[in-house]
Amino acid sequence: MEQGDLRGVVALDGPSGTGKSTVARRLASALKSGYLDTGAMYRAVTLAVLRSGGDPAAVAASTRLELSTDPADQVILLDGRDVSAEIRGPEVTLAVSAVSAVPEVRRILVQQQRSIIASVIASVGGIVVEGRDIGTVVSPDAELKIYLTASADARAQRRSRQDLAAGRTATVEATLADVERRDRLDSTRATSPLRKADDAVEVDTTELDLPGVVAELLAIVDNRGLRPGRAVTR
Ligand code: DC
């Protein structure tokens, strides 16, 4: 694979509805880097648990996940079957926090995530990784850690727009309740809870549109010298 413009790992963490996925994909495209959506992995294992009714740790150990790391072409296969759309549905969204709180599930997925990151770094040179524990657990030595935030209202508005666009109907109130419920569960679990790494740069996206967030992150990438050949814009 051809080398992209980014050198190293950009860890992008934060609660749901901050625009993290769209921002991470756009950032990776702009940098011609790889992209890894770790939430999709927790969602796919959750789907497998819901289907089989099995013990989450055993399911995580026995299912085969294959993910594309191309930001322009996101596909996830569960035991060879494309589940990219199904993992975004309400059943998975409702159950994913419980499954992702199981320490053994996290151990297995973190190991897979580290190996995907290492192979993309070896082939493309850089990767944007999004999740909840990338800067704290998966890649504590990441060259850049970003923690995206936004007000709960803004996050619920964004989530319900995404749901509507995907043909799922939900009121903003119901989405707000769901966003707050998942944040509570994701932030209070015992194993690698959602939290900002001490050395992460916090970016509040409440008042920013998508191009604004991406531009801000690109400026931080360049200030850190992670895109060789680019002038530092201070
Ligand atoms: O980013 P998302 O909404 O697709 O993530 C789905 C769930 O997976 C989220 O509620 C928390 C969990 N998750 C996690 O625990 N650790 C990660 N690195 C990524 C996601």
CA of 156 to the centre of ligand 1 (A): 16
Query: Is 231 among the domain residues?
Result: no
- Is the beta carbon of 63 within 6 A of some atom in ligand 1? no
Name which residue sits closest to atom 3 of ligand 1, judged by CA: 16
Higher pLDDT, 228 or 17: 228
Query: Is 164 among the domain residues?
Result: yes
Confidence at 234, pLDDT banded by 50, 70, 90: low
To 10 degrees, what angle do helices 103-124 and 90-100 make?
A: 100
- Is the beta carbon of 100 within 6 A of some atom in ligand 1? yes
Check residue 159 and give its pLDDT. 79
Mean pLDDT of the 93-110 span: 95
Q: Residue 85 is encoded by which pair of tokens?
A: 């759309």
How many distinct structural domains can be found in the chain?
1
- 192 Cβ partners below 8 Å, 6+ apart? 106, 132, 133, 136, 137
What digits encode the pLDDT tens for the residues 111-147? 999 999 999 999 999 999 999 999 999 999 999 999 9
CA of 133 to the centre of ligand 1 (A): 9
What digits encode the pLDDT tens for the residues 19-68? 899 999 999 999 999 999 999 999 999 999 999 999 999 999 999 999 99
Query: Is 80 among the domain residues?
Result: yes
What's 136's domain CATH number? 3.40.50.300
Query: Is 160 among the domain residues?
Result: yes
Query: Is 171 among the domain residues?
Result: yes
Lookup result for tokens 């850190």: 224
Confidence at 232, pLDDT banded by 50, 70, 90: low
Q: Residue 212 is encoded by which pair of tokens?
A: 């604004």
Q: Which of 21, 87, 100, 178 to mutate to test the pocket of ligand 1 (most atoms within 8 A of CB)?
A: 100
Query: Is 63 among the domain residues?
Result: yes
Q: Which domain holds residue 207?
A: 8-223
- Is the beta carbon of 182 within 6 A of some atom in ligand 1? yes
- Is the beta carbon of 133 within 6 A of some atom in ligand 1? yes
CA of 214 to the centre of ligand 1 (A): 21
CA of 208 to the centre of ligand 1 (A): 23
- Is the beta carbon of 97 within 6 A of some atom in ligand 1? yes
What digits encode the pLDDT tens for the residues 143-179? 999 999 998 888 888 878 877 787 777 788 888 888 8
Query: Is 230 among the domain residues?
Result: no
Query: Is 135 among the domain residues?
Result: yes
What digits encode the pLDDT tens for the residues 5-25? 999 999 999 988 888 999 999
pTM of the complete model: 0.92
CA of 75 to the centre of ligand 1 (A): 17
